[in-house]
Amino acid sequence: MALSSSALSFLERYRPIIDDYDAFLSTLNTPLPLCLWSNDLRITSDDFATLLDEEQISYQRIPWMHNGFRILNQHSMGRHWSYIAGLCHIQEEISMLPPHILAPNHNDSVLDLCAAPGGKTLQMAIRMQNNGSVLANDIHHQRIRALSSHAQRLGLTNITSMINNASHIPSSLNDFDRILADVPCSCEGTSRKNPGVLQQLTVKKSQAQAKQQQAILRRAVQLCKPGGRILYSTCTYAPEENEAVLNAILQEYNNIHIIPINISGLKTTPALTYWQGQEYHSQMSNAIRIWPHHNNTGGFFIALIQKSTQHPSKPKADKSSPLENSIYTAQTLLSPQEQQNFLHGLNLRFGIEPEPLTQYHWHNQNQQAISLSSQASTPQLNNITNTGLAIIHTHGKYPKVTSAGALFLGPLAQKNKIEITTTQLAIYLKRQTINLDQNQYGNILPGAVFVTYKGYTLGLGQYRQQKNHSPQKDHQLESLLPKRWAQTSSA
């Protein structure tokens, strides 16, 4: 994993601003620790720590984040049953920091301008306890689909996903309490997991990248409501993409300022106020840099910006482009009678009481699925791809609970649940059929069931009764684990 000569040559430009350059290079030549956070909506961090102990998975608690873990002896957590059950999500430690600092409140309206692959979006939605609204935007369709898939696995009802150029979102939507601008960058800080990013970097490329970053941050200022906050972050060391971008926007607007950041348990350094002959705004030292050798992480830059109620000194004309409408999700609220019909069906089959589900807004998306959402309506944009949590498929002959719906509804179910053993768990995760023991099927009705392990819902199964030559095979459970979950990578 040794750095190439071209990478070493390029990184040399940072020697003057790094306290221990040799330690910095040494850290870049070591693997990045595997980190994850537990899902507060499904399990407490202490209970998750107990689960890891029971599974003989060695870990360290991340000191600055209550539900963050460094995994020390397990490198395939993406295939672990706790991940599939939505009890945790894998994310590099320092990437967990922006949502932690931005700290959206319970009922905030939040915009993630460059959301994919989604870890920060998911963190914010969970921190908000499935309340408020999180609009997750990205320009790449496949990446936003991956984000939505994770949101389904984790049971999130307050996320709406959208595909658009971040700098072209209409500034008329200027009502967001919190905005995350984790912008595209040269990604130098990710070299411990992606060594190739250092191979073809140039200062000119960073300067070109900075133009796009300025456009995105400018739009964030326009979209943020007075008194709201914006977090600007990158995973690069380049001052051209960090301090220089902030400096340009601070000169453009007089109604924003940078708030000091203090994170107990994490070593940071102040952002630069001077670089290669250029002086930056005096507030720049309130922003922070995170160097890999200080915390055994990747590299990051973060600035927390407060917007006041003053008007900008040099407002820019809104150059929003028309939003693409080639990808569009049609959403209609269910009528009270339609909602009652589905609630009755869930109660009849799984013994789920209606009351916990009546707090959500029930949507029919493209006549394909019934989704639960924390918000009654979504922004009037033509490129919304998904809203809320799809719990029931409606495109087949009969409505069926989705796999994500099983994870969400399982804790509420009072019947037709099958708890599997450790031996059976391996079979279930391979999407094969399990022969059930007598004590497992009891009063279970044939058909769809919720499958649990150690009391946590894993997903769906199909319970069958049939006469075989062997009584041990009379009662079978077919795994309905989605193929994409069974083959999940821990990357």
| Residues labelled as active-site residues | 235
Residue 157's nearest CA partner among 402, 392, 387, 412 is 387
Instruction: Flag whether 114 is marked binding.
Output: yes
Instruction: Flag whether 454 is marked binding.
Output: no
Instruction: Flag whether 115 is marked binding.
Output: yes
The strand pair at 68-71 and 34-38 is best described as antiparallel
Instruction: Flag whether 271 is marked binding.
Output: no
Residue 152's nearest CA partner among 132, 122, 177 is 122
Q: What is the 3-state secondary structure (H, E, C) of the chain?
A: CCCCHHHHHHHHHHHHHCCCHHHHHHHHCCCCCEEEEECCCCCCHHHHHHHHHHCCCCEEECCCCCCEEEECCCCCHHHCHHHHCCCEEECCHHHHHHHHHHCCCCCCEEEECCCCCCHHHHHHHHHCCCCCEEEEEECCHHHHHHHHHHHHHHCCCCEEEEECCHHHCCCCCCCEEEEEEECCCCCHHHCCCCHHHHCCCCHHHHHHHHHHHHHHHHHHHHHEEEEEEEEEEECCCCHHHCHHHHHHHHHHCCCEEEECCCCCCCCCEECCCEECCEECCHHHHHCEEECHHHHCCCCEEEEEEEECCCCCCCCCCCCCCCCCCCCCCCEEECCHHHHHHHHHHHHHHHCCCCHHHCCCEEEEECCCEEEEECCCCCCCCCCEEEECEEEEECCCCCCEECHHHHHHHHHHCCCCEEECCHHHHHHHHCCCEEECCHHHHCCCCCEEEEEEECCEEEEEEEEEECCCCCHHHCEEEEECCCHHHHCCCCC
Which distant-in-sequence residues (6+ apart) come within 8 Å of 374 by Cβ? Answer: 130, 131, 132, 133, 157, 158, 360, 361, 388
Instruction: Flag whether 120 is marked binding.
Output: yes
Instruction: Flag whether 187 is marked binding.
Output: no
The strand pair at 417-419 and 447-453 is best described as parallel
Q: Residue 273 carries which side chain, given as an amino acid letter?
A: T
Number of H helices, E strands in the chain: 15, 26
Instruction: Flag whether 138 is marked binding.
Output: yes
Binding site per annotation, positions for S-adenosyl-L-methionine: 114-120, 138, 182
Binding site per annotation, positions: 114-120, 138, 182
